[in-house]
Structure 1
Amino acid sequence: MTQATMVDNRVRADRPAHIPEALVRDIDMYALDGIDQGFHEAWKALQTPDMPELVWTPLTGGHWVATRGEVIKEVYSDPARFSSEVIFLPKEAGEKYGMVPTRMDPPEHTPYRKLLDTGLNPGQIRKMEEQVRQAAIDLIEPLVAQGQCDFAADYANVFPVKVFMAMAGLPMSDVPKLAVFAKDMTRPAGSSPEEMAATLDAANKGFDAYVDPIIRERRGKNGTDLISVMVNGSINGEPISHEKAVGLISLLLLGGLDTVVNFLSFSMIYLARHPEKVAEIREDELKLRRGVEELFRRFPVVSDARMVAVDQTYRGVDLKQGDMILLPTALHGLDAGEHADPWDLDWERKSVQHSTFGGGPHRCAGLHLARLEATVTLQEWIRRIPAFSLASGANPVYHSGIVAAVENVPLVWDAVAAG
Structure 2
Amino acid sequence: MNTDILTPQPVRPRAALPDHVRPEQVRDIDIYALDGIEEGFHEAWKRVQTPDTPPLVWTPLTGGHWVATRGAVIDEVYRHPDRFSSRVIWVPREAGEAYEMVPTKMDPPEHTPYRKAIDKGLNLAQVRKIEGDIRAVAIELIDGFARNGGCDFARDYAGIFPVKVFLALAGLPMDDAPMLNALAKEMTRPSGDTPEEQGRSLQAANKGFFDYVAPIIAARRGGDGTDLITMMVNSEIDGKAMSPDKMLGLVSLLLLGGLDTVVNMLSFMMIYLARHPETVAEMRSDPMKLQRGVEEMFRRFAVVSDARYVVADMEFHGARLKAGDLILLPTALHGLDDSQHVDPMKVDLSRRNVADHSTFAQGPHRCAGMHLARLEVIVTLQEWLKRIPTFAMEQGATPIYHSGIVAAVENVPLVWEPDGS
Indicate the TM-score class for this superposition, using the shorter chain for normalisation: over 0.9
Tell me, in whole angstroms, the C-alpha distance in 1 between the residues paired with 2:277 and 2:253: 37
Tell me, in whole angstroms, the C-alpha distance in 2 between the residues paired with 1:321 and 1:305: 14
1:389 is aligned to 2:372? no
1:241-271 Cα shifts (integer Å, max 9, x gaps): 1110110000000001100000000000000
SS in 1 for 2:140: helix
- 25, 28, 31: which one pairs with 1:26? 28
5 Å-filtered alignment, 1:253-264, equals 253-264=255-266
1:171-221 Cα shifts (integer Å, max 9, x gaps): 000011100100001000101100000000000000000000000000001
5 Å-filtered alignment, 1:296-315, equals 296-315=298-317
Look up the match of 1:362: 365
Segments of structure 2 that go 5 or more residues without pairing to the other structure are none
- 388, 411, 415: which one pairs with 2:414? 411
- 187, 198, 202: which one pairs with 1:200? 202
1:10-45 Cα shifts (integer Å, max 9, x gaps): 111111111111211111010000000000000000
1:117 is aligned to 2:119? yes
Look up the match of 2:47: 45
Paired AA for residue 18 in structure 2 = P
Tell me, in whole angstroms, the C-alpha distance in 2 between the residues paired with 1:179 and 1:156: 13
Paired AA for residue 311 in structure 1 = D
Tell me, in whole angstroms, the C-alpha distance in 2 between the residues paired with 1:162 and 1:128: 13
Paired AA for residue 56 in structure 1 = W
SS in 2 for 1:65: strand
Look up the match of 1:171: 173
Look up the match of 1:398: 401
Tell me, in whole angstroms, the C-alpha distance in 2 between the residues paired with 1:317 and 1:402: 24
State the aligned residue count. 416
Tell me, in whole angstroms, the C-alpha distance in 1 between the residues paired with 2:202 and 2:120: 29
Tell me, in whole angstroms, the C-alpha distance in 1 between the residues paired with 2:150 and 2:53: 42
Segments of structure 1 that go 5 or more residues without pairing to the other structure are none
**Runs of 4+ off more than 2 Å:** none
SS in 2 for 1:351: coil
1:265-311 Cα shifts (integer Å, max 9, x gaps): 00000000000000001131111111100000000000110010111
Look up the match of 1:151: 153
- 284, 287, 306: which one pairs with 1:285? 287
1:90 is aligned to 2:92? yes
Look up the match of 1:246: 248
SS in 1 for 2:27: coil
Look up the match of 2:77: 75
Verify the 8 A CA contact 2:387 2:420 in the aligned structure 1: no
Tell me, in whole angstroms, the C-alpha distance in 2 between the residues paired with 1:374 and 1:184: 25
- 138, 141, 145: which one pairs with 1:139? 141
5 Å-filtered alignment, 1:204-353, equals 204-352=206-354, 353=356
Q: Higher mean Cα deviation, 12-21 or 370-379?
A: 12-21
Tell me, in whole angstroms, the C-alpha distance in 2 between the residues paired with 1:276 and 1:417: 17
Verify the 8 A CA contact 2:314 2:320 in the aligned structure 1: yes
Tell me, in whole angstroms, the C-alpha distance in 1 between the residues paired with 2:301 and 2:261: 11
SS in 2 for 1:305: strand
Tell me, in whole angstroms, the C-alpha distance in 2 between the residues paired with 1:283 and 1:135: 25
Tell me, in whole angstroms, the C-alpha distance in 2 between the residues paired with 1:372 and 1:295: 13
Measured on the aligned residues, the alpha-carbon RMSD in Å equals: 1.1
- The TM-score, its normalising length taken from structure 2, stands at 0.97
Verify the 8 A CA contact 2:79 2:363 in the aligned structure 1: yes
